[in-house]
């Protein structure tokens, strides 16, 4: 067995109505297929437990799920479409802070990109249909691996360095999005209606957020596979080695 398989902490999905934690297989399968070992964290905001968990992982996946509480970016809830889980917000604040301090690779998907931005001082559209109406389909129906709109990729971004394309066709299932990006983030991709779809934190080894869902499309889309492969590669890579920041294999 290959001993260089990084362990990646995966944030749990929370169903408060059923009082249960659960997981979409695509998050785990994507990491497995890219050469990592996913481990779903328990839901806890205990800093001592989180510190122990973080000592055993080489990367963090911030999954989708509930909205981020607007309190985190200094706003009040604007309507009844906004639904959040305070315990998850609290947990992910501690997890993400610890990951930044250790310079561990972090990939945020959907809620994940929103949480990264809010934590770092940016703001969110709480409800796109209300605050930024658009003809672009940001909330598709199944099948969720089907692309429904395009995003433009900045040639100055790490995403472009990875995929070597100016545009991507992506799936989409969200009603919130990055509004004002945090000062420490760089925009990597934007949708046809101006919604920010991908960001990175250049000062860190690897902190990426994407608004679309590569965990649904990874079986049929090469770019989705590349994103997970790059994430896992960065989790394996010695952080003191500044060469080959993007995997070219």
Pairing of strands 207-210, 124-125: unpaired
137 contacts 90 by C-beta, under 8 angstroms: no
Give the three-state DSSP class for 227.
helix
Q: Which long-range contacts (CB under 8 A, 24 or more apart) does 73-76 make?
A: 73/118, 73/121, 73/122, 73/123, 73/124, 74/123, 75/123, 75/126
Compute CA 209 distance to the chain's CA centroid, rounded to the nearest angstrom: 4
Give one word for 63, left, alpha or beta, with left for phi > 0 and alpha for psi -120 to 50. Answer: beta
Write down the H helix ranges in the chain: 25-34, 47-55, 86-102, 111-119, 128-131, 158-163, 214-217, 222-236
Active-site positions read 110, 213, 215
């Amino acid at each position: 067995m290959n001993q260089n398989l990084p362990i990646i902490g995966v944030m749990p999905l929370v169903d408060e109505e059923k009082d249960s934690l659960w997981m979409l297989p695509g998050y785990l399968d994507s990491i497995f297929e890219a050469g990592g070992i996913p481990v779903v964290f328990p839901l806890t905001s205990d800093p001592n437990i989180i510190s122990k968990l973080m000592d055993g992982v080489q990367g963090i996946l911030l999954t989708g799920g509930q909205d981020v509480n607007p309190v985190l970016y200094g706003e009040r809830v604007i309507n009844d479409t906004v639904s959040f889980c305070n315990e998850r917000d609290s947990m992910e604040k501690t997890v993400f802070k610890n990951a930044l301090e250790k310079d561990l690779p972090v990939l945020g998907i959907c809620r994940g990109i929103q949480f990264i931005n809010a934590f770092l001082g940016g703001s969110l559209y709480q409800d796109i249909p209300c605050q930024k109406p658009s003809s672009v389909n940001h909330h598709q129906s199944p099948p969720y691996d089907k692309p429904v709109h395009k995003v433009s990729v900045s040639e100055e971004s790490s995403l472009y360095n990875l995929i070597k394309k100016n545009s991507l066709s992506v799936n989409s299932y969200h009603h919130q999005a990055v509004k004002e990006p945090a000062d420490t983030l760089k925009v990597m991709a934007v949708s046809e209606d101006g919604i920010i779809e991908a960001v990175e934190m250049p000062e860190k080894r690897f902190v990426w957020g994407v608004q679309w869902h590569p965990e649904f499309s990874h079986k049929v889309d090469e770019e989705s596979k590349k994103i997970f492969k790059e994430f896992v590669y960065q989790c394996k890579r010695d952080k003191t080695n500044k060469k080959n920041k993007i995997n070219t294999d």
